[in-house]
A and B are shown apart, each in its own frame.
Chain A
Amino acid sequence: MALLYVRRDMLAPQAPPASQSGAIHWVRDNLFKGPFNTILTLLAAWVLFELVSLSWPWLANGVWSGASSMADCRAAVAAKAGPDASGACWAMIRERWPQFIFGFYPPELWWRPILTFGLLFVALAPVLYADNKSAMSKLCGVVGVLTVICLIGADGFSFHTVLTIALFAALTAAAAIKPRLLLIVTLIFPFLALWMMWGGSIWGPISVMVGFALVVWVVITAQPKLGTIAATILAVLAFTAFFLDPISSVLDLAAGVVNFVASWFTSTNWHPTLAGSVFGLGFDLRNLLPLQPQVSEAWQAMLPYDLTYVASDKFGGFLLAFVIGVSSISISLPLGILLALGRRSDMFLVKTLSVGFIEFVRGVPLITMLFTASLLLQYFLPPQTKFDLILRVVILVTIFSAAYNAEVVRGGLAALPRGQYEAADALGLDYWQAQRLIIMPQALKISIPGIVSTFIGLFKDTTLVSFVGLADPLRGITTIVRADIAWKGIYWEPYIFVGAIFFLVCFGMSRYSMYLENKLKTDHR
């Protein structure tokens, strides 16, 4: 018996009812779902409408060019939209943008920061994209094209442009063929950037690089033969001899004490140089160390090569923000990891010092640290010491953000199950191997959002340096522009311009962090 009431052919699919699909459905579902949602939507729409209707005329009447003062701008707005209209004066940005970007860096040398900025991305490529060849070569290529465009814009078509084209072509090729080669750029970039930005003799940064290589070499060769502790001591000694001047410091301190005691009895002044010369042989111990400047001077004498020196007070605007931001970010992450490990260490001294450092630094506002950099250090250092203000600020900002990073990384470490540590022990890995191969890759992955937030916060905090008289883009350069009688009275435009650039940079960092999280997602939650 055939079941006649059973359908044998499918009904054609029908479009869902109008209330369940399309724009109407979306609007009902997202904007007007229930009375509370409806009220919120109407409120938001009203606020948006008010904001736009308030600011629209100002934006629409904006003067983009052809004005060289506020008075010109006002006249142009009045001519365009009547006497009572308000209008933005973007012509100011058009006239003064070099100051917002480069501060007072000499225009004929702009190619140096531009090229350095381009190379920054090449140096970052192996860190950002690990072994992803296509992403790295794409990044190098795009950055190369942009750098060349900027160079032509700033400098015209010159020798530097040709050099840059060749350089970026080579780097892009390297990224496509053997991405590991770019790690060399990453390693030398800090020294290269220092030299490109400030100029001076090329042998300065090279000798510093040699010094670091020496320290690393000492550790690598001594560690298997003499053990970790002896190797560390040797490395510290090598570092001291190469970069520091303990002899003079000890002599100065001794002279200070002796003179202080002697001042009760006589008026003689024991001079540290006299104490430093070995038995009147005319050889001054004080000139012996450090080795680094001597190496650098010797090479400079043999093969002189200089870039024009640019003093720190020429740095300003986004150039300054990037110098402080990038150097602090790149130093504070490794420092933060070490501090986090120190805080979780079983060694009493290491743990106490780490906890003390982190808690102290986190308990102090950044502005206090900046004032310390600018004011207090001046009192502690010997008079007439030339210790660059930007360097001082970078050091203290780095310390500040290292403490925050340490806590973020510690959060990542705490999130790891105990079994991971025990597995590492069971495999017979030593402490550093376990950290490098098992713990850190997982802990850092967990900490990515936190670390990137710290970085974004740090980059925005670079504007605080205006309190110590540095020309940051937001307040420093804006004050300078407003001090010009032609632009006095301008208010929103510089803030909007600087804010937009900050947003682009921070948004970029945030998007990258999301990409990285996605890429490293290995669990299937």
Chain B
Amino acid sequence: MKKSVFFGALAATTVLAGSAFAGTLDDVKARGELICGANVGLTGFGAPDATGAYKGFDVDLCKAIAAAVLGDAAKVKYVPTTGETRFTALASGEVDVLIRNSTWTYSRDTDLKFDFVAVNYYDGQGFMVKKELGVSSAKELDGATVCIQTGTTTELNLADFFKSNNISYTPVTVGDDSEALRQYDAGACDAYTTDASGLAASRASLANPADHIILPEIISKEPLGPVVRHGDNNWGDIVRWTYYALLEAEEKGITKANIDTVGTSTTDPEVKRLLGLEGDLGAMMGLDKEWAKRAIAASGNYGEIFEANIGTSTPIGLARGLNALWTQGGLQYAPPFR
């Protein structure tokens, strides 16, 4: 009897707890701060700099959301999350949104009860080899030793790729990226495989980047994007459409520099709607008229964010590739703002 009362109370608390998540927008507004689950340190995507300020491609999306919701891009608290703690941090309500290069997969979306609201970076697993090896395709890597981080999906992808191409390899397992880089540099393995974005950063940090090439094969799909909890669709909409606003801004040529003037000079009704000069799109999500304008002004449009953090002008030097706009042969496509 006592036991059932206890479990009843527990269940009731859980129900209460579930309903407490429903109003993430209200929570964020009441708190005056967006809590963003960030990476503990990933080059170009999200890491604190020497002064402790978070910077990076993912971090700029956090800033855009904070600007849209709270009107100030600086009102973000970054909670560093590891690969192990990230999903619990989100599920338990410790963070409002998780923006730390998490791959959108079926089980995470359904079983873990999350919503991947957008894909802000299409990544995939690639290979880096030394030029002197004379290899131009991953299919020529028969018998090669490959450095691979243990306990990641990249390990499984690698096994699948070699099996399906009927070639053999010897894995050299390493703990993390820095160790992999060290082993690869010391010649302990012929090839290093991880996400292509990480490979580019690793290649840039080697003594002679020109001596190494990243092979053209991408052997897996890694769509990375912001994650929110199931059950609060309005909050999911806000994160999704803030991201799309950045995309749309790039497509329409709205930049950080011209955002104050483009509204008056343009004749495009969609730009006017986006900037809050016509209609009232923000109210449909519980925001004000200028939410998207502030989000874009925070760090610029999608293209500007990409170029500033990981683009070809940075040492990391990633090409847009799949992440180009759909008008330029990429996959980044924002639904219409109307």
Contacts and interface: CB of A to CB of B under 8 A. Distances in A.
Interface of A: 70, 74, 95-96, 99, 103-104, 253, 256-257, 259-261, 263, 313-314, 371, 374-375, 378-379, 382-384, 466-471, 476, 478-480, 482-485, 488-491
Nearest to B185: A489
Given A253-B9, A260-B9, A383-B20, A483 B50 contact: no
Contacts of A379: 88, 92
B321 interface: no
A382 B40 contact: no
A88 to B, nearest CB: 14
B9 A314 contact: no
A483 B47 contact: yes
Interface stretch (B77-85, B103-111, B148-156): B77-85
B315 A378 contact: no
A382 B12 contact: no
Given A375-B88, A480-B40, A485-B44, 20 more contacts: A70-B205, A253-B9, A257-B5, A260-B15, A263-B15, A313-B79, A375-B92, A378-B92, A382-B13, A383-B17, A467-B85, A468-B82, A482-B41, A483-B39, A485-B205, A485-B314, A488-B202, A489-B182, A489-B206, A491-B179
A484 B49 contact: yes
A263 to B, nearest CB: 8
A375 B85 contact: yes
Contacts of A95: 50
B43 A374 contact: no
Q: Which 6 residue pairs spanning A and B have beta carbons closest together?
A: A104-B52, A483-B47, A483-B41, A260-B12, A378-B92, A488-B205
B178 interface: yes
Contact of A313 (B77, B84, B182, B204): B77
A260 B93 contact: no
B84 A371 contact: yes
A476 B40 contact: yes
Nearest to B84: A467
Contacts of A382: 13, 17
B182 A491 contact: yes
Q: Which of B15, B42, B77, B93 is the most central at the interface, judged by chain A CB atoms within 10 Å of its CB? A: B93
Nearest to B77: A313
A374 to B, nearest CB: 6
Specify the main secondary structure of chain A where it touches its partner: helix
A57 to B, nearest CB: 15
Contacts of A256: 8-9, 12-13, 16
Nearest to A468: B85
B217 interface: no
Q: Which of A99, A259, A479 is the most central at the interface, judged by chain B CB atoms within 10 Å of its CB? A: A479
25 contacts: A70-B205, A95-B50, A99-B50, A99-B52, A104-B48, A253-B9, A260-B8, A260-B12, A263-B15, A313-B77, A313-B78, A378-B89, A378-B94, A382-B13, A384-B93, A469-B79, A469-B82, A469-B89, A480-B47, A484-B50, A485-B201, A485-B204, A485-B205, A488-B181, A488-B204
B17 A469 contact: no
Contacts of A470: 80
B283 to A, nearest CB: 26
Interface residues of B, number: 52
A250 B11 CA distance: 16
Q: Which of B48, B93, B201 is the most central at the interface, judged by chain A CB atoms within 10 Å of its CB? A: B48
Contacts of B12: 256-257, 259-260, 263
Q: Which of B12, B21, B206 is the most central at the interface, judged by chain A CB atoms within 10 Å of its CB? A: B12
Interface in B1-51: 5, 8-9, 11-13, 15-17, 20-21, 27, 39-44, 47-51
Contacts of A374: 85, 88
A471 B47 contact: no
Contacts of B79: 313, 469
Contacts of A471: 40, 80
A261 B12 CA distance: 9
A476 B47 CA distance: 11
Contacts of A263: 12, 15
Contacts of A490: 178
Interface string B191-226: 000000000011011110000000000000000000
Nearest to B314: A485
B316 interface: yes
Contacts of B47: 480, 483-484
A224 B12 CA distance: 46
Contacts of B43: 482-485, 488
A104 B80 CA distance: 13
Nearest to B56: A483
A99 B51 CA distance: 8
Contacts of B21: 383
B4 to A, nearest CB: 11
Contacts of B5: 257
A489 B94 contact: no
Contacts of B13: 256, 382
A55 B130 CA distance: 26
B187 to A, nearest CB: 13
Contact of A467 (B50, B82, B316): B82
Contact of B40 (A261, A383, A479, A485): A479
A384 B84 contact: no
Contacts of A469: 40, 79-82, 85, 89
Contacts of B93: 378, 383-384
Nearest to A480: B41
A96 B206 CA distance: 21
A74 B178 CA distance: 17
A384 B20 contact: yes
Nearest to A385: B93
B178 A482 contact: yes
Contact of B181 (A99, A259, A313, A489): A489
Interface string B105-124: 00000000000000000000
Given A384-B27, A469-B40, A480 B48 contact: yes
A104 B84 CA distance: 23
A151 B94 CA distance: 36
A479 B315 contact: no
Contacts of A482: 41, 43, 177-178
B212 to A, nearest CB: 12
Nearest to A98: B50
B199 to A, nearest CB: 12
A260 B84 CA distance: 33
